[in-house]
Amino acid sequence: MRAVEIVGEGREARLRLGEAADPRPKAGELLIDVVAAGINRGDTLQRQGLYPPPPGASPIIGLECAGRVAELGEGVSNFACGDRVMALLPGGGYAERAVAHAGSVLPVPPGLSLTEAGGIPEVFLTCHLTLFDLGRVWTGETVLVHGGGGGIGTAAIQLLSRAGARVLVTAGSAEKCASCLELGAERAVRYGDESFAEAALDWTEGRGVDAILDHVGGAYLEDNIRCLARGGRLILIGVMAGASGTLDLGRMLGRHLSVIGSTLRPRSVVEKAALVERFRKRFGEDLSARRLSAVVDRVFPLAEAQAAHERMEKSLHTGKIVLQVREERPG
């Protein structure tokens, strides 16, 4: 099968189209003929050798895909060959075929293209896990989302809005800020134009925000803590600007603050299956009714995976970049 491979090492590593052996599903798994695969920050880190796949996972890059079921492993009864599905993967998405555990698979609703579906599982499930399961965001609470114009950010805005939370975002351009406001954010702060901490305190009339979703890390740590409300939660999902920073423990204690770190990829198939089920129960109808959707920035053919990574690394995208692995057949 055609699959994207990594050539070189470190920051000089690049992607090219090559060949790989077809994967086979084990018990509890299914094989997917991939139509589309979403691009994620974790993919660019894996290319550079900074985010290796968990033990036993495919070495091929790709944390999510959408396509049609091609083969069922032993014991899988909730899907049939030919079903349109989207899947959370530990790896293997940048290829013509990928194996997924059945518990990490969702049916693609009628009317939703497989190209769009390819950009849904990783970001929407990450946001559900971090914001609702770990961050315990409730209706009426205020949430600061850093990087509101990216895949995670655009998913977070939609989910929080559907849950009745109020959203403040940071973004890198006026255009991205405008897109975030259209998706449901109440206020958007452009990087460099003003302090996000001051904006958050002003927006909440000095109270601070109830939760923050942050992929930036160390560079934002002090200001993140400064603008949290009493009982606030800082949820870390990345360290793009440093893995360390100064933490005001006195403020943490006095204001009953929490810092929560989370990654999705290394979690067990049991944990992921439970997460998929919680997401389906809470937001499945919204997804089917198109009240939730992937904001697709640009679609690249599989052979241009390197160009897709470069677009992400330059932060030129709004929403999700998607790889088109094969043409979607009707029906």
Q: What is the CATH number of domain 2-120+266-324?
A: 3.90.180.10
Residues near 57 by Cβ (< 8 Å), separated by ≥ 6?
Answer: 90, 91, 92
Q: Name the 3-class secondary structure at 117.
A: helix
**Strand 84-88 versus strand 105-107 pairing type:** antiparallel
Kindly state the average pLDDT of the residues 105-132. Answer: 97
CB 89 within 8 A of CB 100: yes
Q: In terms of Cα–Cα distance, which of 163, 165, 118 is closest to 302?
A: 118
pTM of the model: 0.96
For the stretch 204-247, pLDDT in tens is 999 999 999 999 888 999 999 999 999 999 999 998 887 888 88
Range(s) for CATH 3.40.50.720 in the chain? 123-261
For the stretch 261-278, pLDDT in tens is 999 999 999 999 999 999
For the stretch 5-30, pLDDT in tens is 999 999 999 999 999 999 999 999 99
Instruction: Supply the pLDDT for residue 318.
Output: 97
Instruction: Supply the pLDDT for residue 198.
Output: 97
Instruction: Supply the pLDDT for residue 217.
Output: 86
DSSP secondary structure of 209-267: EEEEEESS-GGGHHHHHHTEEEEEEEEE---TT-S-----HHHHHHTT-EEEE--STTS
pLDDT higher than threshold 70 for residue 331: no
Q: Is 75 exposed, middle or buried (0-12, 13-18, 19+ CB in 10 A)?
A: exposed
CATH of 123-261, one of 3.30.565.10, 2.60.120.650, 3.40.50.720, 3.40.50.10800: 3.40.50.720
Q: Name the 3-class secondary structure at 168.
A: strand
To the nearest whole number, what is the mean pLDDT of the chain?
96
Residue 247 vs residue 299, higher pLDDT: 299
